Structure 1
Amino acid sequence: MLSYSIKRTLQLIVTMLGVVTLVFFSIRMIPGDPSAAMAGDNLSGEALEVFRQKLGLNAPLWIQYLDYLKSIIRFDLGNTLTTSLPITGLILKALPITFTMAVLTLIVSILIAIPLGTIAAFLANKGKRTLDNALTSASMVGELMPSFMSSLLLMLLLSLTLHLLPASGAIQFDDPFMLIRRLALPVIVLSLSQISTLARITRTSVLEVLNEDYVRTARSMGLSEIVVIFRHALKNSMLPIITVISLSFANLLNGAVIVEYIFSIPGTGTLLISGINSRDYPLVQNGILFYSFIFISANYITDLIYKKVDPRVQI
């Protein structure tokens, strides 16, 4: 396990370095002068040159790249152009909100999707295709519906029509009830696609093991179907489910960008969109890098969990 962890950690470092390089050069490959695009029509001539100097765009590209690597190692991502506030501080301030929303979504998704997918597999195994097809079709609809569409529909129904949940308002961590109520709508929206994906994967994974010898042996010992399904079949089909859960967390952080903006959630997604709208070049670059690191870290943690669950897994 130690050797495996060291190898994966080294791969993690190399991957992160590759992502930093890709983000850095991709931003600079955008056509046009980034400084002129950010400054708009307000600056020209000598003032624009001073602005370029402030951004460090006058230096050779390789020096810009090395300076950017040094700033990342120091956890100093610079300041925003619009407010001159530290980008690191803004991300750390917005991260707890996005993280809380993602964790709540993941908990709701797991509590609903895994039993739902397991029941669907059991019904399919017993030849009861009607209910199984209904569950599968419902999960596909939830997976295919765009988050912005479900956001608007649920906002119209639960907030504007029934007045059950707020669609906007302050985020108060000191009041758990109001916090959950405020985040309920975006959590429901994000849960729809996550439940659909996780339920479908759970159904497929459990269905594959229901005809295995150890499942038939458990049934022959007189164990109840609930014990056979959830203790034996589900337990031995967890590897693909663990993968989906781990990657779902990263996808939730990434997919929350639009949902946060629609529901006025001051998280990292809203922060990134505000940077795009204001053409804040450093904020956008580091926001993209932050989301990339989240996804890479989720893959890294998934691999370690894989090795812990099944020692036979090799790098």
Structure 2
Amino acid sequence: MADYLLKKAAQLIPTILGVVTLVFFAIRLIPGDSTSYMAGDNLSGEAVDALRERMGLDVPVWQQYLDYLLGILKFDFGTTMVSGLPIGQLIMEALPVTFMIAFLTVLIACLIAVTLGTIAAFSAHKGKKLIDQVLTWIAMLVDLMPSFWMALLMMLVFTLSLGWLPASGPIDFSDPVGLLQRIALPLIVLSLGQIATIARITRTSVLEVLNEDYIRTARAFGTPQLLVVFRHALKNAAMPIITVAGLGFGNLLNGTVITEFIFSIPGIGTLLIGGINSRDYSLVQSVILVYSFLFILVNMMTDLIYKYFDPRVKF
């Protein structure tokens, strides 16, 4: 276990360095910079040059790159080019919101999707094709719906028409009821796509396991059907489900960008879009760096969870 963690930690360094390098140089291919955004049509050429010098954009790109790497090694992300606020503070304020939404989304999606997928697999195994086909087609239909379209549809129905759930407003952790109402729509939108994917994987994996000899043996000993399906079959079919759920959690950290922007959630996604719109190099680089680190960390934890469900797994 320790050797595996050390190996993964060693792999983390070149991966993060590659991401930082790619983002640093790719974002500078975009026409314009922060001074263009801040200056607009009001500042003269000399004022713009002075502003570029104050932001450190007048030095060669390689020197900007080295300065940024040194700052990361010191865990100093610097300040935003537009507002001058500490980037680390902004990320720490936004990260809990995004992480909470992503975690609750995966939790809700897994509880619903694993149940539906297992029921579909059991129905198919028993020859009840109608239930299996209905659940499978619903999952495929939901999976084809774009998240931004679902978000707008949810706002139209639950906010404008019924007035049940707010589509905007502050995030107050001291008010659990208000917090759940505030994040309900983003959770629904993000969960639907995850439910569809995990349910289809669960159905395929459980259906394959139900045909194994040890399942027939458990039935021959008189083990109740629910115990056979949810304890024996589901646990042995869990590996593909864990893989998809782990990848889904990592992708959700990226997928929340559009959803947070639509529902005005003050998370990492909103912070990233604001940095892109203002050409704030430092902010965009730092946010993508955090995204990359979290994605790799989730993959590492997924590998560790494998050992719990299958002791035969070796690191």
TM-score range (shorter-chain normalised) is over 0.9
Cα displacement (A) at 1:179 = 0.6
Aligned partners of 2:130 and 2:155: how far apart in 1? 32
Any stretches of 5+ residues in structure 2 without a counterpart? none
1:290: which partner in 2?
Answer: 290
Question: In the alignment, is the contact (CA less than 8 A) between 1:5 and 1:304 conserved in 2?
Answer: no
**What aligned pairs does 1:178-217 form with structure 2 within 5 A after superposition?**
178-217=178-217
State the secondary structure of the residue aligned to 1:216: helix
- Please give the TM-score of this superposition, normalised by the length of structure 2: 0.93
1:11: which partner in 2?
Answer: 11
1:62: which partner in 2?
Answer: 62
Cα displacement (A) at 1:46 = 3.2
1:102: which partner in 2?
Answer: 102
Q: 1:108 to 1:286 in 2, by over 3 A?
A: same
Aligned partners of 1:165 and 1:32: how far apart in 2? 40
Establish whether residue 220 from structure 1 lines up as the match of residue 216 from structure 2: no
Q: 1:87 to 1:50 in 2, by over 3 A?
A: same
Cα displacement (A) at 1:120 = 0.8
Kindly provide the amino acid, as one letter, of the partner of residue 306 in structure 2. Answer: Y
Identify the range of structure 1 (50-59 vs 204-213) with the bigger mean alpha-carbon deviation. Answer: 50-59
Q: 1:16 to 1:31 in 2, by over 3 A?
A: closer
Counting aligned pairs with the same residue, the percent is 61
1:34: which partner in 2?
Answer: 33
Cα displacement (A) at 1:41 = 3.7
Cα displacement (A) at 1:307 = 4.2
Question: In the alignment, is the contact (CA less than 8 A) between 2:261 and 2:269 conserved in 1?
Answer: yes
2:136: which partner in 1?
Answer: 136
**What aligned pairs does 1:133-172 form with structure 2 within 5 A after superposition?**
133-172=133-172
Aligned partners of 1:201 and 1:43: how far apart in 2? 57
Kindly provide the amino acid, as one letter, of the partner of residue 99 in structure 2. Answer: F
Identify the range of structure 1 (142-151 vs 276-285) with the bigger mean alpha-carbon deviation. Answer: 276-285
Aligned partners of 1:235 and 1:310: how far apart in 2? 9
Establish whether residue 21 from structure 1 lines up as the match of residue 21 from structure 2: yes
Aligned partners of 1:43 and 1:306: how far apart in 2? 58
- Please give the TM-score of this superposition, normalised by the length of structure 1: 0.93
Kindly provide the amino acid, as one letter, of the partner of residue 265 in structure 2. Answer: I
Per-residue CA deviations over 1:190-225 (Å, capped at 9, x if unaligned) read 110011111111111111111111111111111111
Aligned partners of 2:40 and 2:274: how far apart in 1? 16
Per-residue CA deviations over 1:103-162 (Å, capped at 9, x if unaligned) read 221221111111111111111112222111111111111111111111111111111111
1:83: which partner in 2?
Answer: 83
Aligned partners of 1:174 and 1:223: how far apart in 2? 47
Per-residue CA deviations over 1:63-89 (Å, capped at 9, x if unaligned) read 322211111122221111221111111
1:255: which partner in 2?
Answer: 255
Question: In the alignment, is the contact (CA less than 8 A) between 1:35 and 1:48 conserved in 2?
Answer: no
Identify the range of structure 1 (281-290 vs 257-266) with the bigger mean alpha-carbon deviation. Answer: 281-290
Any stretches of 5+ residues in structure 1 without a counterpart? none
CA RMSD for the aligned pairs?
1.9
Aligned partners of 1:45 and 1:128: how far apart in 2? 74
Question: In the alignment, is the contact (CA less than 8 A) between 2:16 and 2:289 conserved in 1?
Answer: no
Question: In the alignment, is the contact (CA less than 8 A) between 1:264 and 1:270 conserved in 2?
Answer: yes
Question: In the alignment, is the contact (CA less than 8 A) between 1:35 and 1:51 conserved in 2?
Answer: no
2:244: which partner in 1?
Answer: 244
2:48: which partner in 1?
Answer: 48
Identify the range of structure 1 (248-257 vs 276-285) with the bigger mean alpha-carbon deviation. Answer: 276-285
Aligned partners of 1:266 and 1:139: how far apart in 2? 30
Aligned partners of 2:160 and 2:46: how far apart in 1? 52
Q: 1:265 to 1:35 in 2, by over 3 A?
A: closer
Question: In the alignment, is the contact (CA less than 8 A) between 2:206 and 2:234 conserved in 1?
Answer: yes
